[in-house]
């Protein structure tokens, strides 16, 4: 039974005090999770230490701490970056890489992301690997080819065993991130099914069925249940709606 996940990506938002209040509020009110469910809080780097204490002290099971990015090198002259050993020291379980904002604003290539993948696997982290197409690609109806290239160039050197152990795919159509425009359930299911078919062709149907694929892009409490009910959608990577407990909790509840 593959994992069902809701991950909150706080991006560059909240102070330490605000983040603590948000975590305390969500965790205290969230329902008990099934054994194959995870809720991951991907907080800003400055909040990781405090967030780790809150998560560890909670009596709730299957909640984890996530980071929003990392460098592939363990140390060095990379001003402003953060290494995987630094993240490990503060209890990080999962790391987002390949988010469209990192690709667009910071020029992160599929090759660079491949190096990050290998470094994170060596450190035994769960990877939330983002993929997704911009509007012009969707309008040209070449989104499947675009996403296929992202996955092939960064992930398909992995063995099936390593892939299943470490990789969670998050499909985020760039045209739907933070815009209020959400892919229809048909569009989301179509792309998720395409990704799973690609995994089956590259590896095996059995392996493809084990991989968790999340949807991201203006997912909220009103549409989460419908999106998560799609056969190949296993949860969500949530941006803006993760910043308020009253908006994030219904999304977590939609996993059930």
Neighbours of 47 (CB within 10 A): 23
What's the token pair of residue 15? 């102070």
Choose the catalytic residue: 101, 108, 133, 172: 172
Q: Look up 99 and say whether it is catalytic.
A: yes
Q: Look up 192 and say whether it is catalytic.
A: no
H helix intervals, the chain: 16-29, 48-57, 84-89, 100-106, 110-122, 135-139, 143-155, 160-166, 185-202, 205-208, 224-228, 245-253
CA 182 to each of CA 23, 60, 65, 179, 240: distance values in angstroms, whole numbers, following the listed order: 26, 31, 26, 8, 13
Choose the catalytic residue: 71, 93, 99, 192: 99
What's the token pair of residue 29? 């009110």
Query: CB-hemisphere CA count at 13 Å for 232?
Result: 21
Active site residues: 99, 172
């Amino acid at each position: 039974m593959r994992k069902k996940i809701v991950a909150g990506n706080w991006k560059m938002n909240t102070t330490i005090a605000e983040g603590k209040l948000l975590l305390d509020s969500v965790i205290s009110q969230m329902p008990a999770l099934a054994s194959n469910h995870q809720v991951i809080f991907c907080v800003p780097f400055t909040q990781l230490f405090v967030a780790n204490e809150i998560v560890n002290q909670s009596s709730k099971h299957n909640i984890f701490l996530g980071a929003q990015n990392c460098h592939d090198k363990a140390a060095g002259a990379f001003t402003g970056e953060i290494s995987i050993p630094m993240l490990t020291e503060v209890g990080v379980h999962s790391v987002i890489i390949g988010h469209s904002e990192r690709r667009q604003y910071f020029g992160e290539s599929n090759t660079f992301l491949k190096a990050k993948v290998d470094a994170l696997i060596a450190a035994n982290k769960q990877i939330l690997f983002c993929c997704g197409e911009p509007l012009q690609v969707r309008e040209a109806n070449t989104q499947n080819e675009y996403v296929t290239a992202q996955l092939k160039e960064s992930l398909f050197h992995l063995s099936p065993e390593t892939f299943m152990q470490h990789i969670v795919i998050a499909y985020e159509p760039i045209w739907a991130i933070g815009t209020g425009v959400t892919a229809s359930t048909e569009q989301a299911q179509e792309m998720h099914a395409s990704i799973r078919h690609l995994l089956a062709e590259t590896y095996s149907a059995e392996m493809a069925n084990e991989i968790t694929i999340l949807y991201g892009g203006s997912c909220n409490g009103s549409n989460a249940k419908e999106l998560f009910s799609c056969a190949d959608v296993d949860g969500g990577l949530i941006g803006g709606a993760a910043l308020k407990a009253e908006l994030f909790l219904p999304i977590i509840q939609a996993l059930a």
